[in-house]
Amino acid sequence: MSDGPETREQRQSVDPKLLEILVCPLTKTTLEYDAAAQELISRAAGLAYPIRDGVPLMTLEEARRLDDGGGHAGGQ
């Protein structure tokens, strides 16, 4: 049993049941999980919510706009 990057990434995956109940706080639409970026994507809002230490940060202040590739949506 190795403790390589794959094992750590598997530990940080989002529970499918959680994905079923989480919605975008802005649009109330379903979210997509981006495992590589560790984000929850709201296509309807054009936002990506980060996941840090396994916890989705579902605030507009933490969200990143999908069209700008970086930064935060809040306060702009």
Extents of the domains making up the chain: 5-65
Would you put residue 4 in left (φ > 0), alpha (ψ -120 to 50) or beta? beta
- Reported as a single tens digit per residue, the pLDDT across 1-57 is 444 454 444 446 888 898 899 999 999 999 999 999 999 999 999 999 999 998 999
- Reported as a single tens digit per residue, the pLDDT across 63-74 is 999 986 655 665
Fold of 5-65: N-terminal domain of TfIIb (2.20.25)
- Reported as a single tens digit per residue, the pLDDT across 37-53 is 999 999 999 999 999 99
Distance separating alpha carbons of residues 12 and 45, to the nearest angstrom: 24
Q: Which residues pair with 49 in a beta bridge?
A: 40
Q: Which residues of 23-35 are buried (b: 16+ CB within 10 A; e: fewer)?
A: bbeeeeebbebee
pLDDT at 67: 87
Distance separating alpha carbons of residues 36 and 5, to the nearest angstrom: 12
